[in-house]
A and B are shown apart, each in its own frame.
Chain A
Amino acid sequence: EVQLLESGGGLVQPGGSLRLSCAASGFTFSNFGMSWVRQAAGKGLEWVSGISHSGGIISYGDSVKGRFAISRDNSKNTLYLQMNSLRAEDTAVYYCVRRSSGLDAFDIWGQGTMVTVSA
């Protein structure tokens, strides 16, 4: 079964750091681009960051540029999001998402991990 399982969410103080992980299974992870998408409570979806299958192409949304870093370890089938200088407005559910190269779309989503930034 194709699956994405996020972990690493939790409560962190403003200005703090957190690293999210996403374990992929059921497919050849190294063949797919990946992204992180977040959603604050009661709000819409926001694309946060994306990385190509090899890690050679990386991009960030304007709201996290310079604070967040996406990476991947294809030998471990794992995607990461290092989040630094966290703000209250970063509070959200963070989804790990697979980008299908054939469809050019986000075809597989994880269940999400909650990040709360609060004193």
Chain B
Amino acid sequence: AIQMTQSPSSLSASVGDRVTITCRASQDIRNDLGWYQQKPGKAPNLLIYAASSLQSGVPSRFSGSGSGTDFTLTISSLQPEDFATYYCLQDYNYPFTFGPGTKVDI
């Protein structure tokens, strides 16, 4: 199975900061990567699909980039409601695999 790693595992930032989260795949997954936000006690929510496409309704401060094995999620100006855990997911092939998550504290 493809292994996914994320860094950092957690971070603390201030409102207005630019935040970058990295996800790395153990093999080439083209651009078959999504980013999901999960708030405590809630189901995850799709932010980015196909590595860089913004899901409808998601604020434009979220962006994704990368292809192959290295990917990045960027929050251009952190807002209080962005306190959450962020997961990447490779859907290049089965079994799909999530990264371990990055917890963002405001």
Contacts and interface: CB of A to CB of B under 8 A. Distances in A.
Q: Which of B44, B94, B96, B99 has the most CB of A within 10 A?
A: B96
A61 interface: yes
B83 interface: no
B59 interface: no
Interface size classification for chain B: 20 to 34
A68 B60 CA distance: 39
Nearest to A108: B46
A43 B43 CA distance: 13
Interface of A: 35, 37, 44-47, 50, 59-62, 95, 103-107, 109-112
Instruction: Describe A's contact surface by its main secondary structure.
Output: strand
Contacts of A47: 89, 95-98
Nearest to B95: A61
A43 B45 CA distance: 17
A111 B95 contact: no
Contacts of B82: none
B95 A62 contact: yes
Contacts, number: 60
B74 to A, nearest CB: 18
Interface of B: 1, 32, 34, 36, 38, 43-46, 49-50, 53, 55, 87, 89, 91, 94-101
Contacts of A37: 44
B49 to A, nearest CB: 4
B87 A44 contact: yes
A50 B98 contact: no
Q: Which of B46, B55, B95, B98 has the most CB of A within 10 A?
A: B95
Contact of A44 (B46, B49, B100): B100
A88 B54 CA distance: 38
B48 to A, nearest CB: 8
A45 B46 contact: no
